Structure 1
């Protein structure tokens, strides 16, 4: 046993006493430590460690710095989180170490021991500082080049694959084929909702295109000529002219008036609001006497619909509809028009032109003219036109023939113009094998200069127009290219005028020197005009344009 100085013996006793008290405190708290606890048998115990040397100088204890935070990829400045859409903030700096008050330890006092922490081997470890992240954690790392290459290769193989695509596993409703899903259209503020163009009705599409025509017409007006002259007058003549089929369709009178209804948004003046009148005649037709017209209107509440049907001398037809408010003097809410072009003679076959027309109506027309000649008095007013019109009106045959409208008495067969003796041009409207003049046909003259046979007299037929019924014809020449009037041969007619009761004359058309000639054949009205004729209905039956 080595000898211990008295001063150190006293100090060791105090240290031993403090150690026992400290171990007792730890045992009571449920913690077990053996740092200062020696073995129970001092004989078998190893030599204890010498106690640390203490001095009277103040002991400045400094805590070591806290552990660094876990290694983590730094966030790029102004990087936005995928969920919160807020800029990620950098982690806060670690808190500075807390400075402790220095302690003066004397040789006679119990030495100071720091409280148990994870730094000196006691107590639980300190938690690492939590760094702020988004609500759903940090964003996933980007894909590697190998992953991107694998995905690209899979997409290319899928596109070049000849295998059929996999079946769609999602189950559709049972009524998918018959009832399509209802599409909803979300309207923005101040925006008028419109369905897709595929859901437009035919009326809506036509109104839409009419609005486009009007818009571009106002945006890009037609160029005016440099000289100050008005537009040419719209022709309202009743004679069909020698034009191609396309030109005749483009120039039909029903189509010309139908275009007027596209401008209904400009009907602002009172004289333009013809649809409010007792006799609603469209403005372009006011004063026209060579048309047939039927009108009617319906009204629901304050909204009235005015419907018109118009038949023109070229046998084109027009149906119109105007919707407007009775209590308002503004423009119409809507104005629509549909038309049907004139019938085409070349579209009819032998049965229609001969069997169902000439052979049915011709004998009665001839009989009516002969009876008028034998009666020795005028028919109706005594006008030449009345003879043909009354013959068609009094026909007892069913279906009834088309009655005269202006100078039109049926389907047009021929038109020609004479420019001098044995000069001129003309053509048949039907095929060559169906051409020819037959009894019962009706002829129209316009300032024709021609001679009669027995007696040989020169007549001027038409001032300007003249009508006659043909009861016999022979010697006419038929050519497919050109048949001027002087090739029509001899015709025998019955005609009348205000100064002449019905009389029979034979004309030698080879002596014609001037004028124009039209030939018409009576035909059933239903054949010429079709469904919807003479009826104010809208929209009309097909075909209508």
Structure 2
């Protein structure tokens, strides 16, 4: 049994040990005196984390992290924008030391910014920076048309506005044109020409230039083909002027016939127009008759008769007052004028013909000539476009090239005008033609014209031989024409075909460029001669 001294000694040791532990604990934690400790109070909250430049208050969403590791990095896509205001200079800095070990790290705050809605897209937006040349030409032609009608002045339109690249061989007729043609034919049978597509609408020329006969054809090249017929004088119009001359004897009163008839000296196929006026004084009647003739060789004639009748006595044909004026055949045009004519008329005429090919319906009567004639007439609906020369017999505008195989030896040909190629929309006239055709290994002969045939060029042709105004052509190397044509007499619906002129063995061929009448002739056609133009007389 321990003695009292042993128990006292153990008690003193326990007391000293407790005092040492308390002192060490106090020094280690630097705590407050125990008299200020409230055992019922809760521990204070942890100090806030150090202030960071890229951290600001945000949404309440948060997540707890394990205190054993650092907080995850902030996702840049969810980082909020920094506030525009700055901390007050008077605020005291926050402590920068790390939290006390053993206490949990503050939770990392995450910020989820909703994505911005995509701006609405305009379904009809136009890429103005990448417009094609055709789009620009169409846009500016609409503006030109508007301001010409608004102001009545077309002098502001640039001369080169109508220039555009030559059409490619990949042209296709829109379905709207095909449907329109079929609809017209279903309702009206062999109806009017199909509506012209917007993209092929002819462009209004900036101005109507005066004829510039800067080119001429050598005399040696005259009359190597049978058309137009050789006149007695310089032109068909000059022949009419000689007929109207007072020295020419008239053996009939053809001018008194009803209905009025053409002058006897006028050729079949020429365009004729007539007007007149009558005045009376007592038993004296005075009639003035005006005659206009647009000839196949593109010369133009105006005649005037003044007939005085007294009582019932018929007038003496050789006592009638006669006068005549005329324009000779026009000279070839230069390259720029011919290209401008193509830009104005060519695409419309070619697409007009292709519309009937696609619809598989005859144009007008179904005659081959109708396809060209009606194509030229369709410009009557465009009041801002200069009227082209109409089809006159076998003439369809400015002669570009002519060929003749009905001569001894090899076929011959000649180029006319300043252009360097056959262009889309040109018109081909054939007469009693036979040519060799080659399709793969097959050989055959094509016959065009019984005796006459007409086609529309649908693809540009750059001749394989040199071409120059008034010079002979190497027909064998000229090239292949791709055309649209029809023939109700042979039962052929409108179709496309190709003909290599190098195989020409018989007959004659003429190629024409549709051109404006005022541009080429100098005036529009009427029975009364305009005083503003310079004419010739006998």
Partner residue in 2 for 1:278: 258
Secondary structure of 2:240 counterpart: helix
Using the TM superposition, give the Cα deviation of residue 459 of structure 1 relative to its aligned residue in structure 2, in angstroms.
Answer: 0.7
Partner residue in 2 for 1:324: 307
Would the aligned equivalents of 1:291 and 1:406 in 2 still touch at CA under 8 Å? yes
| Residue from 449, 453, 468 that aligns with 2:455 | 468
Partner residue in 2 for 1:309: 292
Partner residue in 1 for 2:354: 370
Determine whether 1:292 maps to 2:257. Answer: no
Alignment of 1:373-388 (within 5 A): 373-388=357-372
* Alignment root-mean-square deviation, CA: 2.7
| Residue from 402, 408, 423 that aligns with 1:415 | 402
| Residue from 207, 219, 239 that aligns with 2:227 | 239
Q: Which has the higher contact order (CA 8 A, sep 6+)?
A: 2
Using the TM superposition, give the Cα deviation of residue 542 of structure 1 relative to its aligned residue in structure 2, in angstroms.
Answer: 2.4
Partner residue in 1 for 2:466: 478
Partner residue in 1 for 2:243: 260
Would the aligned equivalents of 1:363 and 1:440 in 2 still touch at CA under 8 Å? yes
Provide the rounded CA distance (Å) in 2 between the counterparts of 1:350 and 1:280: 42
Provide the rounded CA distance (Å) in 2 between the counterparts of 1:320 and 1:238: 28
Using the TM superposition, give the Cα deviation of residue 447 of structure 1 relative to its aligned residue in structure 2, in angstroms.
Answer: 1.1
Using the TM superposition, give the Cα deviation of residue 238 of structure 1 relative to its aligned residue in structure 2, in angstroms.
Answer: 8.3
Provide the rounded CA distance (Å) in 1 between the counterparts of 2:247 and 2:456: 44
Alignment of 1:94-109 (within 5 A): none
**Residues 354-403 of structure 1 deviation map (CA, whole Å, 9 limit, x = unaligned):** 0x211221111111111110111111111100011111111355123222
Partner residue in 1 for 2:390: 403
Provide the rounded CA distance (Å) in 1 between the counterparts of 2:321 and 2:533: 21
| Residue from 480, 488, 510 that aligns with 1:490 | 480
| Residue from 496, 506, 514 that aligns with 1:504 | 496
Secondary structure of 1:295 counterpart: strand
Against the structure 1 CA distance between its residues 421 and 449, is the aligned structure 2 distance closer, same or farther, given a 3 Å change threshold? farther
Determine whether 1:352 maps to 2:337. Answer: yes
Provide the rounded CA distance (Å) in 2 between the counterparts of 1:349 and 1:482: 18
Provide the rounded CA distance (Å) in 2 between the counterparts of 1:367 and 1:417: 29
Secondary structure of 1:513 counterpart: strand
Determine whether 1:542 maps to 2:512. Answer: no
| Between 448-457 and 389-398, the greater mean CA deviation after superposition | 448-457
Partner residue in 2 for 1:446: 431
Secondary structure of 2:459 counterpart: strand
Secondary structure of 2:356 counterpart: helix
Provide the rounded CA distance (Å) in 2 between the counterparts of 1:440 and 1:539: 31
Partner residue in 1 for 2:142: none
Using the TM superposition, give the Cα deviation of residue 445 of structure 1 relative to its aligned residue in structure 2, in angstroms.
Answer: 0.8
Secondary structure of 1:307 counterpart: strand
**Residues 27-70 of structure 1 deviation map (CA, whole Å, 9 limit, x = unaligned):** xxxxxxxxxxxxxxxxxxxxxxxxxxxxxxxxxxxxxxxxxxxx
Provide the rounded CA distance (Å) in 2 between the counterparts of 1:423 and 1:297: 52
Alignment of 1:1-400 (within 5 A): 239-240=227-228, 250-263=233-246, 266-267=249-250, 269=251, 272-285=252-265, 288-301=267-280, 302-327=285-310, 328-329=313-314, 330-331=316-317, 332-345=319-332, 348-354=333-339, 356-395=340-379, 396-397=381-382, 398-400=385-387
**Residues 197-231 of structure 1 deviation map (CA, whole Å, 9 limit, x = unaligned):** xxxxxxxxxxxxxxxxxxxxxxxxxxxxxxxxxxx
Provide the rounded CA distance (Å) in 1 between the counterparts of 2:404 and 2:357: 29
Against the structure 1 CA distance between its residues 451 and 495, is the aligned structure 2 distance closer, same or farther, given a 3 Å change threshold? farther
Against the structure 1 CA distance between its residues 386 and 317, is the aligned structure 2 distance closer, same or farther, given a 3 Å change threshold? same
Task: Give the greater-gyration-radius structure (CA).
Answer: 1
**Residues 144-174 of structure 1 deviation map (CA, whole Å, 9 limit, x = unaligned):** xxxxxxxxxxxxxxxxxxxxxxxxxxxxxxx
Using the TM superposition, give the Cα deviation of residue 521 of structure 1 relative to its aligned residue in structure 2, in angstroms.
Answer: 0.4
Provide the rounded CA distance (Å) in 2 between the counterparts of 1:248 and 1:263: 20
Provide the rounded CA distance (Å) in 2 between the counterparts of 1:418 and 1:486: 11
Using the TM superposition, give the Cα deviation of residue 333 of structure 1 relative to its aligned residue in structure 2, in angstroms.
Answer: 3.2
Partner residue in 1 for 2:513: 521
Against the structure 1 CA distance between its residues 382 and 238, is the aligned structure 2 distance closer, same or farther, given a 3 Å change threshold? farther
Would the aligned equivalents of 1:368 and 1:391 in 2 still touch at CA under 8 Å? yes
In structure 1, the gaps of 5 or more residues are 1-234, 242-246
Provide the rounded CA distance (Å) in 2 between the counterparts of 1:314 and 1:452: 32
